[in-house]
Every structure is written in C-alpha cells, then in structure tokens.
C-alpha cells in the first residue's frame, strides 16, 4: 500500500476478509473510489483470493475409512443428542414432583431475568400444562396404572415393553417432549429402589443399545429401539441400572418383533 | 438453535485443510482418518452449542502437530518443489494457467501462512475463529495473513515472469534475442 494513503493495509485486509461492519465497509469503498490505483490493487487481491478458492483440490470420493470414521462420530453425537433431549422431560418431572406452583415458575421472571434461562421456563410451564392435562377428567374409582400406560402408549405413538413383574408402578405421567409428549413411569423396585423410566418418540428409527450416561449427574442409562428412545434413572450404580435396562430393551425388541410379525 | 452433527459433509473441507498442512493427497487422507479417530475419543467434550467444523479443524491441526504425518509431510514438501519447477506442466488455457499459478504460489507458502490464508480466505473463518483454531492471538492471525497475501502475490508474479521467460525462448535464441 502506498505510504500516506488514508486506508491502512489492516483495513484493506479486513475489507477483503469480510471483517468490517456494513458502515465501515461503505466508508472504505467510498475512500477507494477516490484512489483508483489502490482500488485496482484491492480488486487484484480479491481476484487472487477468488482464484485461490477456485484452485482448491477436490475429493469427491473420500476413502471408505474416512467415511466410516465420520459415520461413527455422527453415531456418538446422535446418542449424545438422545441423552441431552431426554433431560428435558426429566427436569420437568422433577419440577412437578417438587410441587412447583405457577407462582414459583414465573418468579424468576420477576427478578429481573438476568440469569433466567427462557427455554427452561417455557419447558417448565409446558410441563405444568401437560401435567394438568394428564390428570384429565377423574374417572370413577381411578384409572389403573397399567391401563393408563396402555392408553398413553397409543396416544403418544411410542412403544412400551411389558414392565418387569417385580416393579410396583407408583406414578404414570405424560410430559412435554420436543414439541411432542413423552411417557414417564415411576416405580418401586426390589433391587434398585425407586426408579423412573422415560419413553419418548423420536423422529427416526434407530437401534442404540443400553448405554450409561457418564456425566456424573443423575445415574442414567439410555437406549433407543425403533422409533422410541428410553432413559432409565434411579439412585443405583450405573452397572445395575444397565442390567435392568438390558432386560427391558430385550423385551422391547421382542414386542417390536411380534408387532412386525403381526 | 438446532445443532448440526453431520460430519460427512465436512470431509472435503477437512481433507483440503489437511492437504494444506501435509502438501500431499494421501497424507491428507491419513491425517483426516487419524483426526476422526481422535475426535471419537474427544466427542464427549464437544460443546454442541458451537459450530462443528472449527472443532473438527482444530482436531485435524492438533493431530497433525503431534502425529507422524508431520514428518512425512516435510519430505513430501521437498518433492513438491520439484513439481513447481517442472516446465512440462505449463497449462494451455489462460484460466488453467491462472489456477496453476495460484496452486504453485500457494504450495510455496510457508505452512503457517498457507494455513491461515486457507482458514480465512478459503473456508471463510473469522479472524477470531482462526485464532482459536491455531491457538494464537487475533493480531497474529492478521499479521500472518498479511504476510501470506504478500508472499502469494510475489510468488504469483515470479511464476508469471517464469512462464513469460519460457514463452520468449520459443522461436528465438536461448538468450532471448532474435
């Protein structure tokens, strides 16, 4: 760049690399218009960069090993996505379980909102709404838990295997899930204590074996069978949860198989 | 914001960046494969709220810096210079000449300059994204970029002069006189 020119080299580079704001960009363009020689240099530089982009080598058919590596990585991300997504209904059920009233839910908004996670609040409100819907019109004598599970499985378009006979189901709820609904079953078990099973509909079918979430939070084992994802949570060692989950997962596959066979 | 976890569409970008580092197609393939294997073991630490490509690019770079491909790449780089000086590779069409010149000029850049030029100029990374990938301050990215542009321009000018000198020889004497 010429000495004494009012446009610095730094500005030219930022201009070429799209690092200027629209107003700064207009300003540089206006000043370039007054200096045709510099403008020609900048234009030549832009052309060189365009040639550089055009000259990029192509790899239309990457090696199989690279493709396989990419697919494996996508699989890991997909499983992580299932876990992350399943946390939402879990958070919601905890809220409802703790007896949060609408007043409590909206209170953070009235505290200035500086640390409020809007998504969390929306999810919590949705949880409350769904819980109210879930209670529904009271049926005479109360609905049996197993009947409720069967009713909701049909309504939510999910699969639910027969639960182990040793489980004593204490609560069945429907919870918001990714703009749809999930089924949350809480039960007392002789070996694991009080546990919660979440079953949620997924957008596509997949087969993910029972896998322990190792983020150090609530012990959770998750898996996917067909179009339903499951998460089993409870105050037990992940290995023991995984054993229980594998039993349920096998039952799920049998149920799916029998559906396919008709 | 919905996170995009598709890795396959980024394979070509990863390979191209790997090629900037290794200067060789096969080494770039090996580097990408090694980087993907490393990414698998690091996947748990990936922040899903951030774009995937810079994360992958960083892993490719770190894999290159710590892997055996780096040593191989230096050997290949020397071989690449032989290609640069090969007059039989002169293309026939004007556009091809330009592309050929820019490729040669790019191949002759020091790796640290070629890398930053590729990240910002070709892949469209912001200065701050490129700085994060490379692990240097933004100011260093800018100064490397500036040097890279100057070197690229000089290399291209030399390449054009070289081609012109060859053209003058045709139909004349070796000293360029008629």
pLDDT digits (tens, 9 = 90+) for B67-79: 665 566 655 655 5
Q: Which residue in B145, B33, B134, B75 sits closest to A69, CA to CA?
A: B33
Residues B135 and B169 in one domain: yes
Q: How far is A47 from chain B (nearest CA, A)?
A: 11
Tell me the mean pLDDT in the region A70-80.
86
Q: How many angstroms away from the CA of A13 is the closest CA of chain B?
A: 7
Residue in chain A nearest B33 by alpha carbon: A66
State which residues form the domain around A47.
9-54
Maximum Cα–Cα distance for chain B, whole Å?
71
Positive or negative, the Cα torsion across A167, A173, A174, A175?
Answer: negative
Confidence of residue A156 (pLDDT cuts 50, 70, 90): confident
Say if the Cβ atoms of B11 and A77 lie within 8 Å.
Answer: no
Label residue B138 by pLDDT band (50, 70, 90): very high
pLDDT exceeds 90 at position A228: no
- According to the per-residue pLDDT averaged within each range, which of A208-212, B58-62, B103-107, B162-166 is highest? B58-62
Q: Does the structure show a pLDDT above 70 at A166?
A: yes
Q: Give B36: exposed, middle or buried? Use CB within 10 Å, 0-12, 13-18, 19+.
A: buried
A83 and A31 together in one domain? no
pLDDT for position A151: 80
Which residues in chain A are closer than 8 Å to B122, comparing Cβ atoms? 52-53, 56
**What is the ipTM score, two decimals?**
0.72
Residue B36 predicted with pLDDT over 90: yes
Do residues B5 and B75 share a domain?
yes
Residue B9, CA distances (Å) to A38, B62, B71 in order: 39, 21, 28
- In chain A, residues with a C-beta closer than 8 Å to the C-beta of B48 are 77, 80-81, 84
pLDDT at B29 over 70: yes
Q: Which of A101-115, A119-133, B92-106, B136-150 has the highest mean pLDDT?
A: B136-150
pLDDT of B84 reads 45
Give the chain B residue whose CA is nearest to the CA of A63.
B29
Average pLDDT over residues A253-260: 57
Give domain status of residue A207, yes or no.
yes
Contact B19 A57 (CB under 8 A): yes
Predicted pLDDT of residue B10? 92
pLDDT on residue B91: 43
Q: What is the pLDDT of residue B97?
A: 66
Residues of A in contact with B150 (CB under 8 A): none
Which domain covers residue B63, as residue numbers? Answer: 1-84
Reply yes or no on whether the pLDDT at A81 is more than 80: no
**pLDDT over 90, % of chain A:** 5
Which range has the top average pLDDT, A28-42, A72-86, B80-94? A28-42
Q: Does A122 touch chain B (CB under 8 A)?
A: no
Q: At A151, which CATH number?
A: 3.40.1000
Q: Could you tell me if B131 and B166 lie in one domain?
A: yes
As a whole number, mean pLDDT of residues A230-242 equals: 82
The pTM for the full model equals 0.54
DSSP code per residue over A139-188: PTT---HHHHHHHHHHHHT---PPPPTT-EEEEEEEEEETTEEEEEEEEE
Q: Do B72 and B9 fall within a single domain? A: yes
Shared domain check, B99 and B46: no
Q: What is the mean pLDDT of chain B?
A: 78
Q: Do B103 and A70 touch (CB under 8 A)?
A: no
Asked whether residue A2 carries a pLDDT value surpassing 70, the answer given is: no
**What does the pLDDT average to over A72-84?**
81
pLDDT of A206 higher than 80: no
Compute the mean pLDDT over every residue in chain A, rounded to the nearest whole number.
75
What letter does residue A138 receive in the DSSP assignment? P
Q: Is A64 on the interface with B (CB under 8 A)?
A: no
Does A150 contact chain B (CB < 8 Å)? no
Same domain, B108 and B144: yes
Chain A residue with the nearest C-alpha to that of B44:
A80
A247, with CB counted inside 10 A (0-12, 13-18, 19+), is middle
- Residue B68 maps to which CATH number? 1.10.1740.10
**Cα(A234)–Cα(A247) distance, integer angstroms:** 16
What pLDDT shows up at residue A253?
A: 67
Q: What is the DSSP-derived secondary structure letter of residue B177?
A: -
């Amino acid at each position: 760049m010429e000495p004494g020119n009012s446009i610095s080299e730094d500005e030219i580079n930022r201009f070429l690399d799209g690092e200027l704001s629209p107003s700064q960009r207009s300003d540089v363009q206006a000043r370039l218009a007054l200096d045709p020689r510099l403008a020609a240099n900048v234009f030549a530089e832009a052309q060189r960069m365009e040639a550089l982009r055009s000259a990029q080598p192509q790899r239309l058919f990457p090696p199989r090993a690279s493709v396989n590596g990419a697919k494996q990585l996508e699989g890991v991300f997909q499983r992580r996505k299932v876990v992350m997504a399943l946390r939402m209904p879990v958070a919601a059920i905890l809220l409802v379980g703790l007896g949060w009233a609408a007043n409590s839910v909206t209170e953070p908004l009235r505290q200035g909102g500086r640390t409020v996670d809007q998504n969390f609040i929306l999810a919590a409100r949705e949880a409350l709404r769904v819980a109210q819907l879930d209670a529904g019109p009271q049926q005479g004598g109360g609905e049996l838990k197993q009947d409720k599970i069967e009713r909701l499985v049909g309504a939510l378009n999910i699969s639910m295997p027969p639960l182990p006979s040793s489980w004593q189901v204490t609560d069945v709820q429907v919870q918001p899930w990714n703009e749809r609904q999930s089924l949350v079953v809480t039960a007392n078990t002789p070996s694991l204590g009080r546990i919660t099973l979440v079953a949620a509909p997924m957008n596509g079918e997949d087969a993910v074996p029972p896998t322990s979430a190792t983020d150090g939070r609530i012990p959770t084992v998750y898996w996917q069978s067909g179009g339903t994802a499951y998460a089993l949570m409870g105050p037990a060692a992940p290995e023991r949860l995984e054993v229980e989950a594998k039993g349920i997962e096998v039952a799920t596959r049998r149920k799916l198989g029998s559906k396919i066979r008709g | 914001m919905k996170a995009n976890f598709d890795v396959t569409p980024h394979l070509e970008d990863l390979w191209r960046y790997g090629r900037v580092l290794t200067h060789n197609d096969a080494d770039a393939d090996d580097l990408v494969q090694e980087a993907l294997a490393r990414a698998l073991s690091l996947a748990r630490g990936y922040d899903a709220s951030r774009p995937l490509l810079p994360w992958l690019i960083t892993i490719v770079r770190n894999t290159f810096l710590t892997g055996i491909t780096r040593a191989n790449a230096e050997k290949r780089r020397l071989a690449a210079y032989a290609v640069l000086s090969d007059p039989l590779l002169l293309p026939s069409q004007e556009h091809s000449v330009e592309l050929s010149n820019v490729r040669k000029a790019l191949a002759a850049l020091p790796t640290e300059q070629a890398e930053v030029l590729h990240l910002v100029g070709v892949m469209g990374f912001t200065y701050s994204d490129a700085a994060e990938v490379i692990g240097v301050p933004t100011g260093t990215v800018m100064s490397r970029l500036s040097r890279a542009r100057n070197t690229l321009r000089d290399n291209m000018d030399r390449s054009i002069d070289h081609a012109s000198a060859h053209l003058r020889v045709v139909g004349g004497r070796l000293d360029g006189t008629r």
